[in-house]
Structure 1
Amino acid sequence: MCSTWIALSAISTFILALVAIITAFKDEIISFFRKPELSISFEPFPPDYHKTILRRVNNPSIWADTYYARIKVHNSGKTKAENVEVLANKLYKILPDGKEKIVPDFIPINLFWTYFFDSPIYPHISPDSYRYFTLLRVVDPKMRHALDEDRTWDGIDPENTIIGFETFVKPYSKKNLQPAGKYIIELRISASNIPKSINHKVQIILTGKWSKDEERMYEDGIRINILNNKEN
């Protein structure tokens, strides 16, 4: 009988200790099982990809046809993602032999949330909801010379399109602008209530060709493919 009471006492002590631990770390345990789950997607039609116009900041009467590519961030988790940001972390150029070469002077900068210009950090994305961020734009090369940021500059054929990554800050070096080619950009998406940021790789193929027709432009001018979703 004594041994039975000792065993019961030990079990009771263990249960009380377990309850104390669960109580102390309740929020962490709940957040582990109910954490946000973020993924990205892209479709080659509006609103992900479409043609609109870009106006000159100090002279709105000057404008150019412009294609925008937007990436959808979807939260499939059971709680909202808080303070979400998208960092354009690294840029690789794909060489003719298929090897990836990092673009050394590309500056890691956060990207714009679509139609949200106050901050690179979006307050929250609710469960089973989504928000867009703008990845890049491609301006009609015939009008590029008239725009503040996209003016013709050394090393870029004025007849060819260029990639303009929609970074929250436009660096003086203009390294957010890149010539036609095949690229992979590494995006790092993070939120304040997600333990690890998630790295996403997106392939971008820009041929340099321009078309006013959206479907033809996507076939002959620019292609975008999501390659992976990977935790950092």
Structure 2
Amino acid sequence: MNDSSDDEFDDYSAMELWLHDLSIDSATRVAGALMIFVGSLLGAILGVALISADVGEILSGQLDSSDGVANVNGIVSTALEDNTTGGDPVEGVRVSVLDFDDLEIGHDITDSGGRFSVEDVPRRSSTLLVDHPGNVTVRILLVPGDHAQISVTLTPGDGLYEYDMTGESHLGESVLIGTTIAGLTLLAGLAGMVGGLEAYRGDHYRRTWWLSFFGLWSRGMLFLGPLFILLGMGMTHLARDQFTDYTED
């Protein structure tokens, strides 16, 4: 019997013999299970961090929910003329934010790139006023913090151009999407952790593989978590014969 067993491995290379030894060693499966669990745990931690974070701050980098204020950022440029000239940033334009009673609550002067930032404005219905000599006055109704960037176009002439941006905010939808992604990240991480436990028990190979696959989408530390999971999946695949329900197709 021993001679027959030895003959079976006569044609194996050193690498094949090493892989065979790994495949029958329970430590290979346990190590793979640990890597899957750790990689998925990193993803679950990311999901928790995303859920507990201040979503408004993530989306705009401006909103401070602790005191109900936000920044109003944007750029002022000239109007296009015949699609050939214009569209240039305008420096030195005074941009003001007015409250409900048209009292100024903040202002800024555009820089050489036409950019402005009115900081720490209360998050309630306000008016952005751009009144520059020789150009149509622009009044924009908005809620500070609902828009990451506001573009203002200066048009030569007299008069007033007013429009309402209070109904154009997609912040609510963005918050919903961000929360959904955070929830899915957490669920993927938990699925991968269960996959790691399944690999450790060595009962269900297919279940282990699919749970670990879902764990890849948890994206723990961007690439480190998925790398751990992939390595763990490779090790459990190598030790697949150790699973009680595994059969060759």
Decide: shared fold, TM above 0.5. no
By percentage of residues, which structure has more helix? 2
By percentage of residues, which structure has more strand? 1
TM-score, length-scaled by structure 1: 0.34
Q: Which has the larger radius of gyration?
A: 2
Higher relative contact order (CA 8 A, sep 6+): 2
